[in-house]
Amino acid sequence: MERKVHVTPSGRTLVTLIPGDGIGPEVVSAARRVVEAAGAKIEWEERAAGASVFKQGIASGVPQDTIESIRKTRVVLKGPLETPVGFGEKSANVTLRKLFETYGNIRPVREFPGVRTPYSGRGVDLVVVRENVEDLYAGIEHMETPGVAQCLKLISRKGSEKIIRLGFEVALAEGRKRVHCATKANIMKLTEGMMKRTFESVAKEYPQIEAQHIIVDNCAHQLVKKPEQFEVIITTNMNGDILSDLTSALIGGLGFAPSANIGAEVAIFEAVHGSAPKYAGKNSINPTAVILSAVLMLRHVGEMAAAAAIEQGVLSSLEDGILTRDVVGDTGAASTTAFTDAVIQRLGRKPKHAKVRDYRPLNLPNVSSDPDFVKVSKRRVVGVDVFVESALPVERLGKSVEDLVKGSSVELKMVESRGTKIYPSTGAMTDTVDHYRCRLMQRAADGDLSEAQVLDVVTRVGAKHRWMHVEKLNEFDGAPGFTKAQGED
Ligand code: NAP
């Protein structure tokens, strides 16, 4: 898919530059100096976001002229933005990622020379490719009863295809041979399972790359035990959030962890770390993460030579023992500006030992934007789950619902509490709460419940019990679109 960038009349790529909060202006200025010294044809359009904007009373933390700039440039290099601590305010970072549908979060980590960690010498060099907009982080939450909260985990086939194709394309661009997909599909068969199934089907289009599924908890275990076995890990949003912080720690911490947020329209490059306010203005923090984020940005806009020169400059500086406070402590540490100067002096100097990959431009996946991405030829509603709030003993609740739906198009199949069937009793010793799911299946084996029949069921149950939500039980092309409760036959 063609890269969308804004090229100025003088032939430079325009980039929206957001200095950000806390240590942001220091590290972003370091990256800017290095990019300019490397001779990259970049022109900056500086814009604000974060704390200063919240203070002006703009609740999103992102003013309109920043949005307009990004709509024009399509490429952003940004510093960290503080999230105000208070009730109801949204993170300006999340706002930016969502506004521009940057669906893929790419977080590479590699072993750095001179940065001692328990993994030094093992050759850790991997990329986490995390889905960035779906999953539990869509933030759709409800209090179901006064004491029970719910968060919806939404995973789409389209979203899964985008991130999985991006992961394989990252592997190709970086000359990597193996891709893992980390999910919890063994438990969440429909949501996490969607990612796994999509991975298995898309992998067939990339026969040159070894594709392996791994259960995410084992992935965390293997990452600590033998991280060098991984090259690219594709994963869902929350899994990726956790795994990518773990992988940052393998190579020396947040000062060394860059990231790219990739969308079909816009790409946002930033360090993984936050605004580290206690270090603001002290000229002591490590600018490597933002400098390497700028390297990712340069590759994105096709400035491969400048990107390589900067990466070599960073590795050579580290090999020469120029290390910031986070690596060596206060004594003998290079300041932020001294480290930046060192990188500039060593631009394009090949490191003596550290390996540098050959990169090809990343081919952005081209996935259809159809909202109804998956089409079926046959569908029917085979039942309905009615969620009710009740303090009754489950035997009484079950019998009551059975009576209420007598003579209707459905019958009660079971009542469950937090995923475990408890009525009719299976002998489960469950500590119930006041949140139950009543599964009501249609009596006719091959019928299709109408809207009126579903409403009739809800009205009948609602006559005696407080319901808080209803889910239709769909069958798509003969396959059930719902899972069974623990203990349900
Ligand atoms: P943080 O700013 O990442 O800082 C946590 C710790 O990480 C620092 O105290 C420091 O460790 C280390 N660190 C971070 N950046 C470093 C660097 N460049 N060089 C060396 N060490 C570095 O996390 P936080 O304190 O949880 O968050 C602060 C603010 O940033 C919050 O408002 C948060 O919402 C925001 N945030 C923004 C983003 C973003 O914009 N993408 C991301 C994360 C957090 P030591 O204390 O051990 O020296």
239 CB less than 6 Å from ligand 1? no
Residue 377 Cα to ligand 1 midpoint, Å, equals 50
Q: State in Å, rounded, how far the first CA of the chain is from the last one.
A: 47
Question: Average pLDDT, stretch 90-115?
Answer: 91
Does 127 have pLDDT greater than 70?
yes
Q: Whose CA is nearest to atom 25 of ligand 1?
A: 276
Average pLDDT over residues 92-105: 90
Which atom number of ligand 1 is nearest to the Cα of residue 290?
18
Tokens of 370: 């159809």
CA atoms within 13 A on the CB side of 198: 28
- Please report the pLDDT score of residue 205 as a whole number: 97
* pLDDT tens by residue, 331-386: 889 999 999 999 999 999 999 999 888 999 899 999 988 888 999 999 999 999 99
- pLDDT for the residue numbered 66: 96
Nearest CA to ligand 1 atom 40: 80
What backbone phi and psi angles, to 5 degrees, belong to 254? -65, -25
Report residue 4's pLDDT band, with 50, 70 and 90 as the boundaries.
confident
> What is the CA(189)–ligand 1 centre distance, in A?
35
pLDDT at 88: 54
* Nearest-CA residue for atom 5 of ligand 1: 276
Question: Does any ligand 1 atom lie closer than 6 A to the CB of residue 81?
Answer: yes
Q: What are the C-alpha distances in Å from 12 to residues 34, 104, 388?
A: 16, 26, 60
The residues, any chain, with a CB within 8 Å of residue 373's CB and separated by 6 or more, are: 156, 157, 158, 161
- pLDDT confidence of 446, banded at 50, 70, 90? confident
**Ligand 1 neighbourhood includes 255 CB (under 6 angstroms):** yes
**Separation of CA 287 and ligand 1 centre (Å):** 12
- Whether 62 shows a pLDDT value over 60: the answer reads yes
pLDDT over 90, % of the chain: 87
Phi and psi torsions of 108, nearest 5°: -85, 145
Instruction: Please give the number of the atom of ligand 1 that sits closest to the Cα of 85.
Output: 32
Is residue 93 in contact with ligand 1, taking CB distance under 6 Å? yes
Q: Which residues are catalytic?
A: 137, 184, 217, 241
247 C-beta closer than 6 A to ligand 1 = no
- Which residue is closest in CA terms to ligand 1's atom 47? 326
Structure tokens at 189: 């068969």
> 387 Cβ partners below 8 Å, 6+ apart?
144, 435, 436, 437, 438, 467, 468, 469, 470, 471
**How does pLDDT run across 217-238, given as a tens digit for each residue?**
999 999 999 999 999 999 999 9
Q: Which of 254, 272, 292, 325 to mutate for ligand 1's pocket (most ligand atoms within 8 Å of CB)?
A: 254
Q: Quote the pLDDT of residue 151.
A: 96
Residue nearest to atom 38 of ligand 1 (CA): 274
Q: Where residue 89 falls among pLDDT bands split at 50, 70, 90?
A: low
Beta bridge partners of 351: none
The pLDDT confidence band at residue 40, using thresholds 50, 70 and 90, is: very high
- With the C-alpha atoms ordered 301, 304, 305, 309, is the resulting torsion angle positive or negative? positive
Q: Does the beta carbon of 164 lie inside 6 Å of ligand 1?
A: no
In tens, the pLDDT along 44-54 reads 999 999 998 98
Is any ligand 1 atom within 6 A of the Cβ of residue 80? Answer: yes
How much is the pLDDT for 13? Answer: 97
Cα–Cα distance, 140 to 142 (Å, whole number): 7
Residues in the chain: 489
Q: What is the pLDDT of residue 346?
A: 98
pLDDT at residue 87 greater than cutoff 70: no
Lateral strand order in the sheet of 178-183: 42-46, 13-18, 75-78, 267-271, 258-262, 104-110, 125-131, 232-235, 178-183, 210-215
pLDDT band for position 445 (cuts 50, 70, 90): confident
Looking at residue 59, what is its pLDDT? 86
What's residue 374's pLDDT?
93
Which pTM does this prediction carry?
Answer: 0.94
Place 169 in a pLDDT band, splitting at 50, 70 and 90: very high
Q: Which residues contact 148 (CB under 8 A, 6 or more apart)?
A: 433, 434, 435
Output the residue whose Cα is nearest ligand 1's atom 7: 254
Q: How far is the CA of 289 from the centre of ligand 1 (A)?
A: 12
CA of 276 to the centre of ligand 1 (A): 4
Query: Are 440 and 383 within 8 A, CB to CB?
Result: yes
Tell the residue nearest (CA) to atom 8 of ligand 1: 276
Query: What average pLDDT does the structure give for the chain?
Result: 95
For residue 84, pLDDT over 90 is answered with: no
What pLDDT was estimated at residue 125?
97
Q: What is the pLDDT of residues 191-206, one digit of tens each?
A: 999 999 999 999 999 9
pLDDT category at 2 given cuts 50, 70, 90 is low
